[in-house]
């Protein structure tokens, strides 16, 4: 069954390079399993973004952390040194204290590098969401320049 998702990712990779944002979102309950398995299967760098970002943020004073997130993520991408990167565990990007727009950040970094991102949320009726309405980390996106693959 995972190979079905791998095939969907492969199909999207064929066309994503022609877009402004080279971003593929794998969302749903199995997104982490699919993304990690795909990265291993295809020998693509796999980055646990929350882990790497939290390590880097420890060195930065709390009031300045939000302003440094983009730079840190850029550095993480550069260190992966690949045309295609699997970014998983994005949860830290949603922390209200960091004042980030996770989708905008993903779109920005996907201009020069193809990003396959694991999104622990859902996609339904053209709406990509993270968390539930009313939750402090809730986000909802309708106009996306990304390919969406739902594992639900």
Asked if 99 and 5 touch (Cβ cutoff 8 Å), the reply is no
Q: pTM higher than 0.85 for the full model? A: yes
Instruction: Quote the tokens at residue 57.
Output: 């943020």
Residue 107: count of CB within 10 angstroms of its CB: 18
d(CA 126, CA 133): 17
Using one digit for the tens of pLDDT, what is the confidence trace for 99-127?
A: 999 999 999 999 999 999 999 999 999 99
Handedness of CA 29, 140, 61, 75 (dihedral sign): positive
pLDDT of residue 74: 95
- Go through the domains of the chain in sequence order and give each one's CATH number: 2-150 (3.40.50)
């Amino acid at each position: 069954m995972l190979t079905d998702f791998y095939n969907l990712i492969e199909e999207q990779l064929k066309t994503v390079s022609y877009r402004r944002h080279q971003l593929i979102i794998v969302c749903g309950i199995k997104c982490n399993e699919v993304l990690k398995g795909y990265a291993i299967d295809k020998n693509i760098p796999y980055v646990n973004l929350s882990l790497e970002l939290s390590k880097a943020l420890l060195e930065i004073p709390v009031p300045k952390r939000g302003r440094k997130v983009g730079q840190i993520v850029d550095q993480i991408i550069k260190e992966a040194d690949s045309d295609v990167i699997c970014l998983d565990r994005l949860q830290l990007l949603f922390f209200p204290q960091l004042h980030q727009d996770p989708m905008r950040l993903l779109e920005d970094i996907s201009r020069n590098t193809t990003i396959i991102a694991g999104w622990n949320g859902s996609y339904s009726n053209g709406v990509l969401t993270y968390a539930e309405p009313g939750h402090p980390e809730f986000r909802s996106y309708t106009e996306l320049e990304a390919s969406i693959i739902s594992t639900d």
